[in-house]
Each structure stands twice: as C-alpha cells, then as structure tokens.
Structure 1
Amino acid sequence: MGDEVVEVISKSIVRPESYNEESDRVKIHLTPWDLFFLRSEYPQRGLLFPQPDPETQFVSRLKSSLSVALNIFYPFAGRLVKVENQDDGTASFHVDCDGSGAKFIHASAKSVSVSDVLEPLDGHVPDFLKRFFPANGVTSCEGISDSLIAFQVTELKDGVFIGFGYNHIVADGSSFWSFFNSWSEICFNGFDPHHRRKFPPLLLRGWFLDGIEYPIRIPTSETDTPNRVVVTSSLIQEKIFRFTSGNVSELKAKANGEVSVDDRKISSLQAVSAYMWRSIIRNSELSPEEVIHCKLLVDMRQRLDPPLKKECFGNMVGFATATTTVAEMLNNGLGWAALQINTSVGSQTNEKVREFAADWVKRPSIMNVKALSNSIVIASSPRFNVYGNDFGWGKPIAVRAGPGNTCDGKLIAYPGTEQGNIEIQTCLSSTVLEKLSTDVEFLKHVCVV
C-alpha cells in the first residue's frame, strides 16, 4: 500500500468558537527548554476507533467540538512569532495566541481495515500508517506559518483513525493529553454553548527563572528553518512490544530485588525501560568499550521549587540521561541498569533545571534527535489517559505513533488496553529489531503485538 491508499476529502482550519482578540489574545514567552525543541519535529500520535454510525455526521461533530476545545486550550490556536534583533544578529520567539486556528484534514482509506493496522502481515508497524498523520516532517520553528496543532481524521473500511501532531515548544505530552481528553468529553456530551464553563480556566505556568531576561535571544544561525525532509528508510523499522501487567510486576520486582535497600525504589516504567535497553544493547553487536545512553523525558512540574500545579499547561519536560558502556551494561543485571535510569531521573532537581537554563542562555543549543548515536530515547508515558477518550461512538482500539523525531533507538511508551499493561513502539535498525524479535531471553517477559 502506498500514497494512493489515502484520499484527502477536505482540508480546513478550525478556529476557537468565540475568540475575542481584545480579551483572549495572550503572548507567551518561551523558556530555554521550550527553545531547545526549536528544530524538533512535531510529535505525532494516533488513535484507532471503531466505525461510527455514518448518520451521526461525526466529522462535523469533531470539528464543532474541536472549536470549543480550542477556546479553552487557546495556545494551540495561536502561532509562533519570530522577531529578528537587528542590533546583535539574534532572534527571539514567542507564542501569539491570536486565534488563527488548527489544521483539520478529513481523509478516506477505504481499502484499509482495522485488522490491517492491528495485525500487519510482516509484524512491523505498517508503512501506510504514515499517511494517516497530518504533520509529517513539520518542525517546531515552522509554527510561524503552520498551525501549532494539526489533525487528520481518516475513515477506514471498518473504523476511523484520528491522527494528530503538535508543536513541542507549546506543549508536552501531559498538556496535550489533557487537551485531547477535554475535546473528547466535549464531543461526547454535545454542544451546550456554555459547556466550556464546566472546565477551569487554562493554567499557564508562572515565571520561575529569576535572573534570565525575556525574550531569550538566540544566534540567528541556530534559528534558520531547516529544509523539510520526510525520511523513510528500509534500514529502520518499527514494531510494538507488549508487557502485560504480570510482565511489568515481574520485572519491577526483579529490578528492585537486585538493588540494595538503601537505593530508591525502581518504578514500573524504569524497570521496563532498563529491560528494553539491556536487550537492545545485547543484540546490537557494539564493541564493549562503546559509550551508550538511555534518555527519558521527565515532567518537571513537581520538581521545581516552588512546584507548579500538575495541570499547568505548557512544555515542562527535561531530559534525564543515563550513561554507561556496553561492557558495564552487560556485566551487570537488570537492577543495575534500572538504577542508572532511576538515578538520572532523580538528578532532575530544581537546581539542575535552573543550572541548565542559565547555561543554555549563554550557549544556546538546539536539540537534534537524529544526531544521537548509541542512544535509546524513551518518550511519552503509560500514565497518560489514552484509552479514556470516547467521542461518542466507543473508546479507542489502539494507539500508534506517527513520523516525528524518528530515529534508531526511539521508544514510545503507551498504556495498554488492559489495566497495568505497557506497550512500547520500538524504532530500530532492521537487523537489531529482527534479532530482538527472536531473542528467547527477551521474549520471556514480553510479547510481540
């Protein structure tokens, strides 16, 4: 199946349902960890749903309810603004909540069935799925002209796939899923014009970076918009591995049993991440002296002093990086690897955040995920409310990640459809993925979806 599998029916812009420029227009300044994502691609996710009754005019309902949701989560309806500072050859950015709206694509792929998505013949995430997403190759800095969030609703033979991509400068996964949960609730409950009043006003983060002047100035060379390239390579493939609640409990108990009682407790995700890391390295044929990394995105809201409220909207994630060598990894057990991850996560303190920000302002550095080598990067979280989203015709059947910051070693963690399950969408070189998929030791605690 190629590009011809998807037919675009319509493209439109959905705007907030009652935007008032005088009262609703807000300017959001950006922090160093916002700007760190300036060249990153839009994270893209998608939910597979059962087929709705065509009599419900569900696409129209989705757009109408989206308009209400954008009125509540108004930063998504804005645009990124770049200001050229002629006096020193730098540029500054901010988000202008101007009500410009979000891109909405309605498409059809009637030759594709739900089973084609869930049970691909070769066991890999099917290549046609890339065409179900609306922001392939779009980078954060393109939010100047592109919408900061985009949607594609694709009708299948016997289901519907809702794909979406969002600008990481504006929001992280926690804020995005809060928006998505609200949108589905609004759609499910109908369109009372006062419905949005049932939701509390959006809580933007307060400014906590004393001593850093806003807007932050970045050398123009670091802010140029890269050429948009959608990379597809047969050398990189994706597969989904499922850890049942039983698997997760076993690995968590094993990891905690292998570390001393004085050490911090290993979490479920840390145990699963360590298991994936060790298994990937074991099948990678790297030299023993090679330096390897495990990077996790960590929510910083509750780690700041004073802490931010959990529902605070924006991008507030930091990278926790565990570093070791291949030999050290393979000469130690699961608990040791999990403890390296646990320690790196624990090191993300208020002091470290402020130190990062102060250093970044002096020497701005824009993240390039695809330049990472010998690394696994774990994004998303099994704690997000993915399967609670019901727009009025049933809850999701599955979740998938789309193109966006895709690289060898990218792992995306989701909750499973059953309580306590964790699913990992794994992007690896085809040779490593093939070995991993037939590794008897690895498959003791996980199954291929």
Structure 2
Amino acid sequence: MNPPNVQYISECFIKPKSSADEEETKQPIIHLAPWDLTMLSVHYIQKGLLFVKPSSMNDQENTVQALLERLKESLSLTLVPFYPLAGRLATSKQENPPHYYVYIDNHNSPGAKFIHATVNLTVSDILSPVDVPPVVQSFFDHDRAINHDGHTMSLLSIQVTELVDGIFIGCSINHVVVDGTSYWHFFNTWSDIFMTNNSSISRPPILNRYSPVLNLPFTHHDQFISRHEAPPLRERIFHFSSESVKKLKAKANAEQQTNTISSLQSVSALIWRCITRARSLPYDQETSCRMAVNNRTRIEPPLPEEYFGNSIQIVSGIAKAGELLEQGLGWAAWRLREVVANHNNKAVRESMEAWMKTPFIIHMGQLSDPCSIMVGSSPRFEMFGNEFGMGKAVAIRSGYANKFDGLVMAFPGYEGGGSMDLEVCLLPESMNDLESDGEFMDAVCI
C-alpha cells in the first residue's frame, strides 16, 4: 500500500522584521565568491529535524497553529542579520564585451518561504522502516531545484509538516548562499531566537565575501547548467555508538602507530573499504573517498566560523580497490588523514588562483562515480540542540537533494558523546551486500 501524500495547508513569505534604520544598513547586493559560484548547478541543501509532538500541544493555548506563529515570528527576527536568505539571485549580463555577473539581490524578493503541511503518518512510520521512507523527500520544499533556480525561487524555504504524533521542520537553503557551516549557523540562531524570544545574537553572520567581484565567462546559463536525476537508490541510516567510534579510531591509530587520525577519518575509512568490497570492484580499479573540507581555518589569516557563505572544497583519498581491501583500516584512514592535512593555506590559495584563471561550475554527474564514495556534512555540526520548544529532536533526515550512488552524510548521533549516524545512499544490490559485510556490521549498532 502506498503511503499517504503530504497535504499542503498554507504557504506565505517571511521578510526580515527590521526597522527603517536596519533597512538602510543592508547591502543592496552581495557578490559571490568562487566557492559560491561553483555551486550554481547543484541542488539546495535540505536537512530537517523530526520531533515528537509534545502532549502540551493538545491544550487550547499550545496548538500547532501557535507553534507555527512563533516559528514565523522568530524566523522574521532571525532574517534581520541573515537577510541574504530573504533575497534572490540575480544576473547582470551583456554579450559585447562579455559580462556575466551573478549576485544576491536583497531588495527584489518577497522573502523566505514558509509552508505548513500535514501527513497521516506517525513518527514510528518514519523511524521504524530499515530504509528511509521516500515520503521524507516530500517534507522539503524546492524538490529537485538547482541553485540557479534561486533567481525565481526563494533562497530559503521552511516546511513544517505535521504528523499524527510529530512535527518535522524541513529547511531548504540555496547552496550558492551557504555551506554546511553557514547552514547550521542560521538554523542554530533561529532556534536560539525562538527559545529566548530575544533577537540579540552572540554570533552575527559575516556577509562580506572572500574574493573580488567575479565576471563569469558565459553569455547564457544554458552553458553551465545541468539537472541531475539520481538512479533508484536505497537510503539507510547506520548508527555508530561513541564506544564503536572510539574503537575504530583506536584501531586506525594503532595500526599506523600514530595518534593523529580523527574519528571521522576512521569511520570514513571503514565505509570506504566496505562499500568498495560491496561493489566487487576489480583489483586494479582506482577508487577514492572524497571528503568535503572546511577552508575557514586552513587559510592564513583564517576566516571566522561566522563567515556566511561557502568555504569548502573536496579532497580525495585515492587507492586501487584491491590494495584498499588488502591493507588494514589504519592504512585507509591514514590516506584520508594525509589529504586533509595537505589541504593547507598554499593548496587553498593555489586552487583559488586556478579557478580565477579557468572558472568552472560543479555538476552532480562529476560527483557521482560508481567506484568512489563522497562523505559530506559533519558530526561536529550542532543539530540536536535545535529544540523549538518541543524538546530534543528524535532524528535528523535529509531530502532528495544531491543524492547519488555512494553518497555518505555524517551526522551526530542522538546520544552525543562522539556517536555518529551515517546516511548512506547506494544502489540496491550494493546496499544488500553492505548489510552482509562483517567488518561493517560489527561496528554498527542496530
């Protein structure tokens, strides 16, 4: 039997709740850095939190409608410092001489989008199945939208989906405007403002971009835009307890006689090895584990964590499939540790200079490699601290965006303490074999 469809109840647009003085201090446009512009052809970031509906929500004064009004009010206050999220993308262009300039327009927009929806499902219906139910994709707006669509679509869309006994808050933000660090900076601030009802924040976003104004070598967006459709995938959440993560880290470091391999590098090495084995790749087939790395602390002088925009690049640990499986966990983890350590100020600046000489736009087809995996997000992001008056969320889930065979998203585990959840996307036959992999399942807590 097919699950019930999500029913859309209402939608509106939210603008920053600011005074006339604050309106005057806004930058009318914000130009974009290379790290932003490379994202024009990939999807929005879509992450969300699932809450159990508090029993108090049955009271007349504490209804879902009251929650929605508080969410809208606190969102309006949060958009005051984060006002680019209420804008739209815009392009200035001409053919002779060639000129193609994409920027954030903070004036010509109705604001951020806010949706209220319902679905006749329970929290258990979402959490109990082995695989993430496809209906979760309907808990997010801007389904399959690419970032260039931010010229006509809101850069931020919040969808609050009411379940029978739960609430899901799904957030879609244009990936040209934010990376994961900036995404959760906004989300954390919104939750803080909701909880305190105070618009004073300790960590305002820094909106000035890290680069000069850039003119792209295009005359029309058809020259750099493509749309990605993922093949049929299985998506499953695998949980690693803090004890399991500690054991993997200790094993990786002991095998390499070091103490410099991180928890995430150890877990990433495990999933790289095990997915490679599940795919039955030939011995000499080159495979890689790609990781999204935050540039903020790697450049000199460093960018503050509050830098609001993209400041990430992808680094790759590379190995032949046979060698990867013959060697131990520590060997694979050390491969990842080395590429991360070598991604320093010199490497970041050289890549920036190369992009300035020959600009390019990332396409999802380039990220999808049937012989490799890609580890994104981070267990270091503060996700479960966003309570919105409903207590701690019971789960983190993501939408359709940027999914492909071999994508692994790393989230903090519910219990904290260094535990992790991996959201793994694989072709069904590969997922079946991964679930039978002894090395992998021995580390996973079912």
TM-score by length of 2: 0.92
1:385 and 2:382 aligned: yes
1:198 Cα deviation (Å)?
4.1
Distance, in Å, in 1 between the alignment partners of 2:33 and 2:226 is: 25
Hey, what does 2:187 align to over in structure 1?
A: 180
**Aligned pair in 2 of structure 1 residues 187, 227: CA closer, same or farther (>3 Å)?**
same
Q: Taking structure 1 as reference, are residues 349 and 34 closer, same or farther at Cα in structure 2, changes over 3 Å only?
A: same
Deviation at 1:418, TM superposition (A): 0.7
| Structure 1 equivalent of residue 118 of structure 2 | 108
- Name the amino acid aligned to 1:203: I
String of CA shifts for 1:130-183, please: whole Å, max 9, x gaps.
Answer: 111112111111111111111110000100011111111111111111111111
Q: Structure 2: any 5+ residue segments left out of the alignment?
A: none
Give the superposition deviation at 1:440: 2.2
Cross-structure match for 2:239: 242
The answer as to 2:73 corresponding to 1:64 is yes
> Secondary structure of the equivalent of 1:71?
coil
The separation in 1 between residues aligned to 2:339 and 2:236, in whole angstroms, is 27
Q: Is the 8 A contact 1:216 1:361 kept in 2?
A: no
Aligned: 1:306 with 2:315: no
Report the more deviating stretch, 7-16 or 348-357: 348-357
Asked if 1:289 corresponds to 2:290, the answer is no
Distance 1:411 1:141 in 2: 24
Tell whether the 8 Å contact from 2:278 to 2:433 is kept in structure 1 after alignment. Answer: yes
Q: Give distance in 2, aligned partners of 1:364 and 1:114.
A: 45
In structure 2, what is the equivalent of residue 324 of structure 1? 319
* TM-score normalised per structure 1: 0.92
Question: Post-superposition shift, 1:223?
Answer: 5.7
For structure 1, which runs of at least 5 residues remain unmatched after alignment?
A: none
Measure the CA separation in 2 of the matches of 1:282 and 1:200: 44
Which whole-Å deviations, capped at 9, do the CAs of 1:244-302 have from their partners, x for residues lacking one? 001100000000011144xx710000000000000000111111111111111111111
Partner of 2:6: 6
For residue 280 of structure 2, give the secondary structure of its aligned residue in structure 1.
Answer: coil
| Equivalent residue number for residue 215 of structure 1 | 214
- In structure 2, distance between residues paired with 1:275 and 1:7: 40
Partner of 2:17: 17
Q: CA deviation at 1:96?
A: 2.2
Distance 1:214 1:232, change over 3 A: closer
Displacement after TM superposition at 1:221 (Å)? 5.5
Q: CA deviation at 1:215?
A: 2.3
Asked whether the 8 Å contact 1:36–1:366 carries over to 2, the reply is yes
Rounded Cα–Cα distance in structure 2 between residues aligned with 1:362 and 1:200? 35
How many residue pairs align between the two structures? 433
Match of 2:137, SS state, is helix
Amino acid at match of 1:107: A
1:84 aligns with 2:88: no
Q: How does 1:141-290 map to 2 (within 5 A)?
A: 141-190=148-197, 195-205=198-208, 207=210, 209=211, 213-220=212-219, 224=223, 226=225, 231=229, 233-234=231-232, 236-261=233-258, 265-290=260-285
Instruction: Please name the residue that 1:368 is paired with.
Output: 363
Aligned-pair CA distance for 1:23: 2.2
Instruction: Give me the whole-angstrom Cα distance separating, in 2, the residues matched to 1:351 and 1:164.
Output: 35
Shift of 1:15: 0.9
| Bigger shift: residues 237-246 or 29-38 | 29-38
Give 1:370 shift: 3.0
Match among 337, 341, 348 for residue 342 of structure 1: 337
CA displacement, residues 187-230 of structure 1 (integer Å, 9 cap, x when unaligned): 1223xxxx3234454323464x5xxx52232323666574767x
Q: Secondary structure at the match of 1:272?
A: helix
Q: CA RMSD in A?
A: 2.0
Who is 2:147 aligned against?
A: 140
Pair 3,88 (structure 1): closer, same or farther in 2 beyond 3 Å: farther
Query: Which of 48, 51, 57 is residue 50 of structure 2 equivalent to?
Result: 48
Asked if 1:396 is matched to 2:406, the reply is no
* 1:73 correspondence with 2:82: yes
Range 244-253 or range 78-87, more displaced? 78-87
In 2, the alpha carbon distance for the partners of 1:124 and 1:279 equals 18
In structure 2, what is the equivalent of residue 39 of structure 1? Answer: 41
2:103 counterpart of 1:94 = yes
CA distance in 2, matches of 1:36, 1:422: 29
Whole-angstrom distance in 2 between the partners of 1:47 and 1:221: 38
1:27 matched to 2:29? The reply is yes
Q: Deviations over 1:59-114 (max 9, x none)?
A: 111111111111121121111111113224452111123364111110000x2100
Q: Decide which moves more: 181-190 or 147-156.
A: 181-190
CA spacing shift, 1:333–1:352, aligned 2, 3 Å: same
Tell me, what secondary structure is at the counterpart of 1:162? strand
Tell me the secondary structure at the aligned position of residue 404 of structure 2: coil
Equivalent position SS for 1:441 = helix
CA displacement 1:27-62 (0-9 Å, x = unmatched): 222121111111010111110011141532111111
Q: 1:412 aligns with which of 409, 414, 437?
A: 409
